[in-house]
């Protein structure tokens, strides 16, 4: 990849916030999901959680490529999603209009945090509300009681970003070296990533200059998998990147 792209991806990785995530519970409007993913990328969210009733397709014109940089972890139920989030030591918040809800700005987002956003029409399910640690609400003084879910997500995320910037959390990289390597290869070499994924072999190492570092031994590993080995043309394309 070019030096400029290598530097841009590394800058992105240095600012990613793996301890901040959204949990999308049965959202079904593609434009909302796409806008939420775009906001996630903008504030450094590395991964979103999703429970689909029917998987929403990302609208590329709305997401503007952010879907390539924000990973989605799918869960079969809200119970499994919350269990996973609490295993990550996250406080779990849920947006809900109730007497128990606190102003979203009163929460400490410098803590590992997950925010559940419910379905567009009906909001969060009773199960999600019961499983969450705290209900939050965006104060409204007009005739309507709630914002569009993608707008609400952006407001909450930017409050989280504001608090985390004050706490200096964007000054210290948080992603593991292993995760950084994965993103560098996937984002820097998308066509070769497709070959590696299709063949079922590990990604090669990307050095500080954005060059792939690997040898014949790594490429030969694919012959021990159930996948078909590289064709001579595919092998040459990959090996030519670091030779």
Going by the annotation, the residues of the binding site are 95, 138, 147
Residue 46 DSSP symbol: -
* Nearest residue to 91 (alpha-carbon basis) of 107, 70, 75: 107
Binding site members for S-adenosyl-L-methionine: 95, 138, 147
With a CB cutoff of 8 Å and minimum separation 6, the contacts of 146 are: 97, 123, 138, 140, 152
Place of tokens 């269990």: 83
CA distances from 145 to 27, 121, 122, 139 (A): 19, 12, 13, 8
The DSSP letter of residue 175 is S
Task: State how far the Cα of 146 lies from the Cα of 121, in Å rounded to an integer.
Answer: 10
Angle between helices 3-15 and 177-188 (to 10 degrees): 140
């Amino acid at each position: 990849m070019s030096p400029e792209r290598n530097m841009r991806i590394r800058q992105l990785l240095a600012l990613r916030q793996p301890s901040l995530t959204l949990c999308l519970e049965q959202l079904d409007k593609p434009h909302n999901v796409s806008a939420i993913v775009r906001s996630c990328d903008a504030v450094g969210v590395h991964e979103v959680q999703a429970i689909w009733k029917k998987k929403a397709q990302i609208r590329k014109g709305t997401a503007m490529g952010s879907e390539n940089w924000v990973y989605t972890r799918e869960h079969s139920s809200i119970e499994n999603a919350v269990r996973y989030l609490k295993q990550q030591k996250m406080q779990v918040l849920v947006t809900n209009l109730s007497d128990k809800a606190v102003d979203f700005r009163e929460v400490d987002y410098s803590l590992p945090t997950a925010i559940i956003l419910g379905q567009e029409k009906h909001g969060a399910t009773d199960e999600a509300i019961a499983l969450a640690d705290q209900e939050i609400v965006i104060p409204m003084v007009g005739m309507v009681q709630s914002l569009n879910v993608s707008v609400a997500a952006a407001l909450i995320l930017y409050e989280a970003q504001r608090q985390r910037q004050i706490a200096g959390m964007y000054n210290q990289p948080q992603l593991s070296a292993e995760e950084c390597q994965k993103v560098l290869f996937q984002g820097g070499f998308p066509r070769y990533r497709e070959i590696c994924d299709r063949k079922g072999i590990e990604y090669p190492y990307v050095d500080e200059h954005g060059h792939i570092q690997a040898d014949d031994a790594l490429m030969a590993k694919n012959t021990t998998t159930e996948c078909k080995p590289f064709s001579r043309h595919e092998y040459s394309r990959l090996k030519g990147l670091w030779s």
